Structure 1
Amino acid sequence: MSAFLPAFDPDPETRAAGRTAKLREYTYNHDYVSPLAFVGEVPSRDRFPIDFTTLVLGKIMTNVANQADADSALRRRLRVMDTPITDMVLAGSTAVRAVGAAVGAVIGAAADARRLQTIDDYNALFHVIGLPPIAKDFEFDSTFAELRLAGPNPVMIHRIDKPDDRFPVTDAHFQVALPGDALAAAGADGRLFLVDYQKLDGVETGVSPCGLPKYLYAPLALFAVNTDTRKLVPVAIQCKQRPGPENPIFTPDDGYNWRIAKTIVEIADGNYHEAITHLGRTHLTVEPFVVAAHRQFGPNHPLNVLLQPHFGGTLAINHLARLKLISPDGVIDRLLGAKISAALGLSAWGVQGHAFMDLLPPASFRRRGVDNTATLPSYSYRDDALLHWEAVREWVATYLRCFYRSDAEVAADIEVAAWLTEASAKTGGRINGIEPARTFAELVDVTALVIFTASAQHAAVNFPQYDIMSYAPAMPLAGYAPAPTSKTGATEADYMAMLPPRDQAALQMNTGFMLGTAHYTRLGHYEPGYFGEPRINELAARFAAKMDEIEATITERNRHRRPYPFMLPSGVPQSINI
């Protein structure tokens, strides 16, 4: 290994003692969200810094100011807490408790089962925060299609040749949306796409804090690219997996039933997003790599030096999530259609139901058949994710090339082997499909994928929580009425009955605002002189400059498409810290 940075501490005994201390400090717990791996306790060095805590508390106080009633119980509760919270922030070591206490107060707002009667009633919840962008056009079919490509969960759509037996769409259905076109022609041209929530079929559902039954559905939705406009359009929706007389196929001419069917897709999408795409495949996937790195790398190992900025805050935010968000009666339990035990089961499948390296962006797009810009011209998430992936991989490759001259040197690095072995071990991180790197290219891929997942991918699925998911009519996180069983007779009242009551809508708004607007750190912006060697710092500066180029590219793209801000580098943190 040719090192600008020392790969090993000079004194083997000192290094061994340090590793033993880390093994004691960072232990695994496989019981919090069985069978996934969490850190047992969060060491003090991994807790929230004061400036981050102040940022999050500011978001929470904005939520409080947004409450309609100046004498509300939540306002009174936060007034009482104001001085203790300030004291805890200043204490620093208890910052995580400050955030946890404030989050707990927001979650604990009094239940209010009033059913809102109009969309304007939902709009009226946004007093100080301001309506998110989705509020202006969420009802349009074009928006419904665009959210599959540029929404909170843009990883579901995949190309098909024709619907299977579960979804018996006919040409008559198809031509409602695309008159003059044909189902078979769209399939043959590569223009036919499916979104399938089969994984949600049979998931156990819960009740709201006021005891209202919640519903969750496993719909199928068919889309096609219009040959004239080259835009994706929705064609048909079936609300359940098994076809039959009481599970009709809805099309855009079905009035309020079509609107209800689109809402059912959004409910499924929100549940899949929160449990699997967001929590499972970013937060809970990255944590084992963080813990294994702390345990297996010496502090000066070059890979550890590269990775640590991309691990900042992850253990702390996951710990807070475990206490306040994914705990019984926490945010996820209250908001999602799925019971908390079922939601966490989905999260566990999200982590362990695939090989980690299957998440490599180019391979993932190919596998879903959405890599071809000729058949799917506009796919904002794909197009922007690939910019990030290529830049991150190039940066990782140039950095690691400073230390490894051959595949043999990579294979001989015992700390790298220990890190990857532990990340996948049953007694360790339990991440599937990870083996010790045998070649330089393998090490680059796995390192780049960890960094990409912790930064750009997490940004893509986290920050839509305000712009889109905070607005309950656009994406309710549970249904409050069963799916329609007939194509006739649905009314506006039937549609409104699907949507959450006031307390659930307010909690969804508050949570989405807090999680979707707190940007802390910026991808590519390491601390000045962080790497301690001029050549490495120069390479890091090139990476930062590449991020600026991507910023300009995405900004220009957004002038010609529905704005997709979630992967603008200026808003992409270095790590999962919110």
Structure 2
Amino acid sequence: MTEVFLRIQKRLESYFDMAGFEPSVPQDRDFEERKLLYTFQEPGSDLYPPHLHMTPNIVGKVRGALDLSQLFDFSRLLDTGSLLFQVIPDEVVDWYHDHPEGATLAAIERSNRILLKEKKDIYTEPNIGERSDWYTDAVFAQQSFTGANPVTIQAASNDWVEKFIEEAKAQSKDAMINVIKKGSLYMQDNSYYRAAVDTPAAAELKSKDGTRFCCASVTLLQLTPEGKLHPLAIIIDYKGSMGNSVTIFNKRYVPSDSVNSEGTDWPWRYAKTCAQSSDWTRHEITAHLTNCHLVEEVVIVAAHRSFRRDHPVYKILMPHWLKTLTINAGARSTLVPSIIVEINGFTEAQTYAFIRHEYENFDWKANYVPALLERRGFALQDLTDSKFKNYVYGKDISLMWQVLHKFVSSVLKLFYPDDASVASDSSLITWTSEMRGKSSGNMKSFPVLNSFDELVDAVVMCIHIASPQHTAVNYLQNYYQAFIPNKPPAIYAPLPKTIAELDKYTEKELIASLPVNYPREWLMATHLPYLLSMQVAEQETLFEYALSVAKSTEGVDGAEQVHVKDAALQLYDDLVTLGGIFEAYSDEMDDKTVKYQVLDPERTA
């Protein structure tokens, strides 16, 4: 499967090279030619948000252009994508390297350790299944801070706190009520899933064949003064009201409570599995695919249609676009229809509806790091408090934003001395129009750039999405998701209808919720994070970006080039400093098993 996918990507790379979208050798196309080459797909012509039109009619209009409709037969590529299924039979007599050898979690863990020791197939990198404590409350909660998705945990609203308190009263959980009332509450809120796919609140979210189920989970957590994040309660699948949903409360009220029963508290472990599966959807489809890849693609196409090559904004952003369009084409043609659709808990139509919903509700300015952290309950001035020592992503990303902001501001100040110079730049006006236009990017939240500060923030956001943010949500996928019990893409059995039913769950029901009886889905779910987590090449890091900007000024005289070179070298120095700070932050974490190094500038693309 991995080999087939890589061959598809190679085919796409060749096409994007020959078509001129991402040429291996720089092409001297003028601005008007690039506008003809880079166009948006006609709105509504496929199931995705706005993206590059891959077969524009440019013969006779662009120098040396080939007939792209002849060069690229999209239907044949989709046929190639179907090979992913042909190489994975419906029934696997011997699952070979990926079969969880047995019907218990201990057996699955043992098999995982053997495969990692032997380094067979995709098991060449460590995963969370090596940890004997992978299922515990501490490790479950810490993933909201430093896991594959550290970007959606937020302060619990008063409304949700009241809902949990009322449910605790209904279940006579007086001790838990007292714990909740102590405050410092956070949550992972995926309750909106049904609304996002226009499904009734009481309806089940499940695949068309009824074998896979999606959870709209809500998890309530408490952050102690010592910085330990602890799960208190989980709504396994929110159906519009607490009365229609199943809520379970943790028997362990605080992190210091005995851990002796954690391994055999099967109802609670099942609920955590539902929450993790729910987060798989939020992470893969929202945080990773849509908010990084698909949003960045619109930035790229709009920029090509707005800026000449010597425009300062274009020169700052262009190096961050390496292979993005090719990768995204592979996602649309293969990964989503042939893998994501086949392993998540939505129907095919719901999957695409969810993607479109997340894109349409992406708020550009609200996702600026300082604003986003503040809104989610992590104000920048508070992150230095020891209470937040374990939220290393938040601490790292806030400093990275500041360093990038300093660099972009320094470079652009040379070209835009005041707000009026920004507001009158015709290229920026075009860029705004391309980003916001209904027939182009349709990104309604993209700001109208009338001031220098607005311009700097917008450009920093483009870099943030393409580089550190994508790095944070991409490169830890294999560690946390290749071991399926930690974070399955769906639940593979109907969910319990009542808390009484859930309270009777044993290991048997938990195992049944995993794709142990679905070899094709198991294989795809283990391979997907491996495919997506391939490490960034050394020459593509932020360090190399800073050095390449500095080198681009060599041999060119003038105060402008000196200024840009100085800004780039200062960026490099600032990144070196960040590397040391980030290492110190990682060392301060309570969890000493896994360091949080994903945003190290030497690793960040």
**TM-score between both structures, scaled by the size of structure 2:** 0.75
Match of 2:363 in 1: 355
Tell me if 1:142 matches 2:174.
Answer: no
- Superposition deviation, residue 31 in structure 1: 3.6
Match of 1:344 among 331, 344, 352: 352
Tell me if 1:155 matches 2:151.
Answer: yes
- Superposition deviation, residue 243 in structure 1: 2.2
Query: What amino acid is aligned across from residue 347 of structure 1 in structure 2?
Result: I
SS class of match (1:28): coil
Query: What amino acid is aligned across from residue 267 of structure 1 in structure 2?
Result: S
The more displaced of 399-408 and 388-397 is 399-408
Tell me if 1:565 matches 2:583.
Answer: no
Match of 1:489 among 501, 504, 522: 504
Change (3 A) 1:37 1:174: farther
Tell me if 1:196 matches 2:189.
Answer: yes
Match of 1:20 among 29, 32, 48: 32
Query: What amino acid is aligned across from residue 422 of structure 1 in structure 2?
Result: E
The more displaced of 422-431 and 528-537 is 528-537
Change (3 A) 1:566 1:343: farther
Match of 1:437 in 2: 449
Change (3 A) 1:408 1:560: same
Match of 2:61 in 1: none
Match of 1:233 among 225, 230, 246: 230
SS class of match (1:569): coil
C-alpha distance in 1, partners of 2:572/2:478? 27
C-alpha distance in 1, partners of 2:48/2:343? 23
Structure 1 unmatched ranges of 5 or more: 1-16, 44-92, 574-578
C-alpha distance in 2, partners of 1:312/1:394? 23
Q: Residue by residue, what CA displacement relative to the aligned partner does 1:207-233 show, whole Å, maximum 9, x if unpaired?
A: 49xx66101111211111234x33111
SS class of match (1:234): strand
Q: Residue by residue, what CA displacement relative to the aligned partner does 1:375-432 show, whole Å, maximum 9, x if unpaired?
A: 6453122111111111111110011112111111111111111112211111211112
8 Å Cα contact 1:424-1:432 kept in structure 2? yes
SS class of match (1:223): strand
Match of 1:39 among 52, 56, 59: 52
Q: Residue by residue, what CA displacement relative to the aligned partner does 1:238-258 show, whole Å, maximum 9, x if unpaired?
A: 212232387242324692000
8 Å Cα contact 2:390-2:588 kept in structure 1? no
- Superposition deviation, residue 363 in structure 1: 0.5
SS class of match (2:237): coil
8 Å Cα contact 1:305-1:531 kept in structure 2? no
8 Å Cα contact 1:132-1:471 kept in structure 2? no
8 Å Cα contact 2:248-2:271 kept in structure 1? no
Match of 1:380 in 2: 392
Larger RCO: 1 or 2 (CA < 8 Å, sep 6+):
1
Identity %: 24
C-alpha distance in 2, partners of 1:106/1:367? 41
C-alpha distance in 2, partners of 1:239/1:454? 33
**TM-score between both structures, scaled by the size of structure 1:** 0.79
Structure 2 unmatched ranges of 5 or more: 1-28, 57-70, 93-98, 200-204, 253-263, 555-560
C-alpha distance in 2, partners of 1:477/1:346? 15
SS class of match (2:279): helix
Change (3 A) 1:148 1:536: same
- Superposition deviation, residue 98 in structure 1: 14
- Superposition deviation, residue 339 in structure 1: 2.4
C-alpha distance in 2, partners of 1:107/1:404? 54
C-alpha distance in 1, partners of 2:185/2:581? 29
- Superposition deviation, residue 206 in structure 1: 5.2
Q: Residue by residue, what CA displacement relative to the aligned partner does 1:330-353 show, whole Å, maximum 9, x if unpaired?
A: 111122112233222222222221
8 Å Cα contact 1:278-1:458 kept in structure 2? yes
Match of 1:332 among 334, 340, 348: 340
Q: Alignment RMSD, CA only?
A: 3.0
C-alpha distance in 2, partners of 1:194/1:28? 38
8 Å Cα contact 1:462-1:516 kept in structure 2? yes
The correspondence of residues 153-302 of structure 1 with structure 2, limited to 5 A, is: 153-160=149-156, 162=158, 163-164=160-161, 166-167=163-164, 168-170=166-168, 173=173, 175=175, 182-186=179-183, 191-201=184-194, 205=205, 207=207, 213-227=211-225, 229-241=226-238, 242-244=241-243, 247-252=246-251, 255-302=265-312
Query: What amino acid is aligned across from residue 243 of structure 2 in structure 1?
Result: G
Tell me if 1:448 matches 2:448.
Answer: no
Tell me if 1:118 matches 2:97.
Answer: no
Q: Residue by residue, what CA displacement relative to the aligned partner does 1:421-461 show, whole Å, maximum 9, x if unpaired?
A: 21111121111222431111110000001111110001111
8 Å Cα contact 1:239-1:261 kept in structure 2? yes
8 Å Cα contact 1:174-1:183 kept in structure 2? no
